[in-house]
Structure 1
Amino acid sequence: MVPAEPNTSTRTDSIQSRSYRITVDDGRESFFALSIEDVTSEEAWLMSDTVRALENMR
């Protein structure tokens, strides 16, 4: 594991997010996932399989 490097860039157009609905067990189970990526780097991404709407967290 490599330590995180500070982000000194002021560009914000290189960040993109995608949401996925992932189905398993021949369609019997599904869950949602969120991916946040820096499109300029293949090593800068985050994927979470715990996605909640902000209004549900209050």
Structure 2
Amino acid sequence: MGPARSNSSEQTGSLQSRSYRITVDDGRESFFALSIEDVTCDDAWVMSDTVVALENMR
């Protein structure tokens, strides 16, 4: 893991989000995850398994 980088002065509009339903234990358990990614940088992403939708983060 590298150091955190800030680009708050640069707004690229290149974020995308994806939702996933992840199944484990041969289908016995599943959970939802949300990923937010900067499409211009493979190293800039965050994934959370604590919310189902962005509206629930407020």
TM-score if structure 2 supplies the norm length?
0.78
Describe the superposition over 1:3-56 as per-residue Cα deviations: whole angstroms up to 9, x where unpaired. Answer: 2111131221x10000000011111110001110000000100011111552xx
The amino acid of 2:11's aligned partner reads T
| AA at the equivalent of 2:10 | S
**Percent identity over paired residues:** 73
How many residues in Structure 1 have an aligned counterpart in Structure 2?
A: 55
User: How many Å apart are 1:2 and its aligned residue?
Assistant: 2.2
Partner of 2:12 in structure 1? 11
Q: What's 1:40 paired with?
A: 40
Give runs of ≥4 in structure 1 deviating > 6 Å. none
Structure 1 gaps, min length 5: none
Which of these two proteins has the greater Rg computed from alpha carbons? Answer: 1
Provide the alpha-carbon RMSD of the alignment.
1.9
Q: Which runs of 5+ in 2 are unaligned?
A: none
